[in-house]
Amino acid sequence: MTSTDEIIIADYGMGNVGSIINMIKRVGSRSVLSNDPAAIGNARKLVLPGVGHFDTGMRYLQETGLDHALQQARDNGAVILGICLGMQLMCRDSEESDRKGLGWFDYPVRKFPNKTSTGEKLLVPHMGWNSVAVRSPVQSTNSYVKEGRFYFVHSYYVDADNEEDCLSQTTYGDVRFASSIGRNNVQGVQFHPEKSHKFGMALFSRFIGD
């Protein structure tokens, strides 16, 4: 059982959950790690973390029924934050897998090319600190993401940089991608706020206060 004021972190074996738990505690809230479909489905505030392979993550969610629990939470109006792979799983599909994603956002997930359009080598994964630019003042109003530098580790990106749900953009090589997306009660970030020091703390503070 969990308290109604606790943030549920979905446990499907794919997340950097220790750092997330510590960051949430640092900004003054409580969280609990859970793989219980009932707890996740009835969560008021939920984090979907993720580090690893799209296919592995979706397979676990489907085999355990957590995909339906996540859908229930979303439909019930839970405030949901997806992190890295968690954001990608919210999308339609991925070049990393033949398996479909949750489909909350109708965007593809693509792999970074090994070279830029001018033939320069592009290191993949995209790893390290990079700038995040909020896409527009109107869209950023209810976004947890503000201008700043965040820590990234990923080989795939959500191809939605000019779409309505794109909250912020980041450029790696000559690829501009959606570093955060959002609609209604659901937001996703490609970077790792739990590893992003003051910018990550500020993001989690906004998420907790929502």
CATH code of residue 73: 3.40.50.880
Average pLDDT of the chain is 93
Q: What pLDDT sits at residue 32?
A: 96
- Token pair of 176 as six digits: 């501009």
91 is catalytic: no
Domain count for the chain, please give it. 1
Q: What pLDDT sits at residue 16?
A: 75
Active-site position among 91, 126, 166, 194: 194
Active-site position among 6, 164, 192, 197: 192
Is residue 27 within 8 Å of residue 205, measured between CB atoms?
yes
Asked if residue 2 is part of any domain, the answer here is no
Active-site position among 68, 84, 95, 163: 84
Asked if residue 1 is part of any domain, the answer here is no
68 is catalytic: no
Q: What pLDDT sits at residue 138?
A: 53
6 is catalytic: no
Asked if residue 18 is part of any domain, the answer here is yes
pTM over 0.85: yes
Asked if residue 165 is part of any domain, the answer here is yes
- Domain of residue 34 covers 7-209
Cα separation, 62 vs 122, in Å, equals: 34
The 3-state secondary structure of 67-117, one letter per residue: HHHHHHHHHCCCEEEEECHHHHHCEEEECCECCCCCCCEEEEEEECCCECC
